[in-house]
Amino acid sequence: MSLLLTRERQSRIAERLGAEGQVRAGALAAEFGVSEDTIRRDLREMAAEGLCRRVYGGAVPAAPVGGTLQERRREEAPRKARLGERLACTILPGSSLFVDAGSTNLCLAAALPADAGLTVVTNAPDIAALLLSRGGFEIVLVGGRVDPRCGACLGATALRDLERFRFDDAVLGACGLDAGAGLTAHLLEEAEFKAAVATRARRILAAATNDKIGTAAAYCVLPASRLSRVALEADCPAALVDALKAAGIDVLRADPCDPAPIPVSLRRARAPTPA
Dihedral Cα 27, 31, 37, 38, nearest 10 deg = -140
DSSP code string of the chain: --HHHHHHHHHHHHHHHHHHS-EEHHHHHHHHTS-HHHHHHHHHHHHHTTS-EEETTEEEPBPP----HHHHHHTTHHHHHHHHHHHHTTSPTT-EEEE-SSHHHHHHHHHS-TTS--EEEES-HHHHHHHHHH-S-EEEE--SEEETTTTEEESHHHHHHHTT--EEEEE---SEEETTTEEEESSHHHHHHHHHHHTTEEEEEEE--GGGBT-B-SEEEE-GGG--EEEE-TTS-HHHHHHHHHTT-EEEEPPPPSPPPPPHHHHHHSPPPP-
69-269: which CATH topology?
A: Rossmann fold (3.40.50)
**pLDDT, tens digit (0-9, with 9 covering 90-100), for 80-117:** 999 999 999 999 999 999 999 999 999 999 999 999 99
pLDDT of residue 244: 95
C-alpha gyration radius of the chain: 20
> How far is it, in rounded angstroms, from Cα 253 to Cα 235?
8
Show the 3-state SS of 227-243. Answer: CCEEEECCCCCHHHHHH
pLDDT of residue 46: 82
Q: What percent of the chain has pLDDT over 70?
A: 88
> The domain at 3-60 falls in which architecture?
Orthogonal Bundle (1.10)
When pLDDT is averaged across residues 119-136 and rounded to a whole number, the result is 96
pLDDT of residue 273: 37
Please answer whether residues 231 and 87 qualify as being in contact, where contact means their C-beta atoms are separated by less than 8 angstroms: yes
* pTM (two decimals): 0.78
pLDDT grade, residue 74 (50/70/90)?
Answer: low
Q: What percent of the chain has pLDDT over 90?
A: 56
Of the listed ranges 26-35, 56-65, 103-112, 206-215, the least confidently predicted one is 56-65
pLDDT of residue 258: 53
Domains of the chain, by residue range, sit at: 3-60, 69-269
- Of 72 and 132, the one with more pLDDT: 132
When pLDDT is averaged across residues 127-143 and rounded to a whole number, the result is 95
Q: What is the mean pLDDT of the chain?
A: 86
Of the listed ranges 29-38, 104-113, 165-174, 242-251, the least confidently predicted one is 29-38
**pLDDT, tens digit (0-9, with 9 covering 90-100), for 256-274:** 755 444 444 444 443 333 3
- Of 249 and 23, the one with more pLDDT: 249
